[in-house]
Structure 1
């Protein structure tokens, strides 16, 4: 019986929820995905530099996301917190539109999703991730959801979060 209880506890502690537990995360993620969908379907076409790094360009409809902050800033105006659009570049996911700030106060564009972090494991499986993570050394309550193109390939990530 003790072993069963330990197994149940371990499974519940280690399992990541497939839906956000924090209502702020759910509301912000729904808002981000909804506004992006109104712009049009996601696609990747061409490359351009973002903070000096050549990366694929991600669009929603005809709206280019790279180096454009209207979408992420609109989400933050309505839901507070932070928002980001990542684009897949090889095995990395690069912030191309964000209001997450670096220590110097500048937008953290061109930085990558932690390749050893908790969120990337779920994204690589094609799943969303909801939970606490460190972003550039600061603790956040977060949500990450794959962005899929018309062929259902993961081409980027929607992110929302709140400083803990």
Structure 2
């Protein structure tokens, strides 16, 4: 019996390899969003705990300064650009400023090609409603007039309050 089982192992392995490309080919934008979100969050966690320390002007707005550990996120594009290089799409770090969520680090571009720092998460959108309640949002969203498949997750400070949001997204075809 053991010999028969051992003889079947290579066949089962090869059958698994034959199926794998088909599975990979069916992976869609939602899978890309999940993978990019995990990458963004893990890279942020490597930097340290999220915390607000003072204020900074970002895109013409004075907003709370968001740090991961000792690394300030406001006007710092390394993290979001690293995620874009590895996973494609776009990435943003938002800070909560009053009732708004303001882009402080992003590779989302405005029509003029400049980074959309200082712009806010659409207060009428589903993502904003979810972030305001401390809940994640995964789905379609209009970002600066363009349709994206997106993911948003809250950034929580030491007291578990929402101090910002992670975003990743892919332009819809």
Which bracket does the TM-score occupy, shorter chain normalised?
A: 0.7 to 0.9
Identify the structure with bigger relative contact order (alpha carbons < 8 Å, sequence gap 6+): 1
Equivalence for 1:5 = none
Aligned: 1:31 with 2:39: yes
Q: Distance in 1 between matches of 2:102 and 2:161?
A: 16
Equivalence for 1:52 = 60
Matches within 5 A, 1:132-147: 132-147=140-155
User: Deviations along 1:83-136, whole A, 9 cap, x unmatched?
Assistant: 000000000000000000000000000000001111011111110000001000
Q: Distance in 2 between matches of 1:73 and 1:35?
A: 11
Aligned: 1:119 with 2:127: yes
SS in 1 for 2:45: helix
**TM-score after normalising by structure 1:** 0.87
Matches within 5 A, 1:100-115: 100-115=108-123
Cα RMSD after superposing both structures = 1.2
Structure 2: runs of 5 or more not aligned:
1-28
User: Deviations along 1:4-37, whole A, 9 cap, x unmatched?
Assistant: xxxxxxxxxxxxxxxxx81100100000000000
User: Deviations along 1:14-73, whole A, 9 cap, x unmatched?
Assistant: xxxxxxx81100100000000000000000110010011100000000000000000000
Equivalence for 1:6 = none
Equivalence for 1:151 = 159
Equivalence for 1:87 = 95
Aligned: 1:162 with 2:167: no
**Of the two, which has the highest radius of gyration?**
2
Q: Distance in 1 between matches of 2:88 and 2:61?
A: 28
Structure 1: runs of 5 or more not aligned:
1-20
Q: Distance in 2 between matches of 1:59 and 1:142?
A: 23
SS in 1 for 2:119: coil
